[in-house]
Amino acid sequence: MSAEPGDVRAAVERTARAVMTGNLAQVMADLAPEAMAQLMQIASGAQGISPGQLPSIEGFEVEEDGASAEEARFRVRFRSSAGTLTVATTWRPVMGQWKVAEIGLAGFEPAAGGGPQQGAQG
Chain segment 69-100, per-residue pLDDT in tens = 789 999 999 999 888 999 999 999 988 899 99
Q: Report pLDDT for 42.
A: 76
What CATH class has 5-110? alpha beta
> Is the pLDDT higher at 120 or at 102?
102
Q: What is the mean pLDDT of residues 44-64?
A: 76
Q: How far is CA 58 from CA 1, 63, 92, in A?
A: 35, 17, 28
Which secondary structure element, helix H or strand E, spans residue 79, and what is its range? strand 72-80
Contact predicate 35/26, CB 8 Å: no
pTM of the model: 0.80
Q: What is the average pLDDT across 98-110?
A: 92
110: burial class by Cβ within 10 Å (0-12, 13-18, 19+)? Answer: exposed
Please determine, for residue 117, whether its predicted confidence score (pLDDT) is greater than 60: no
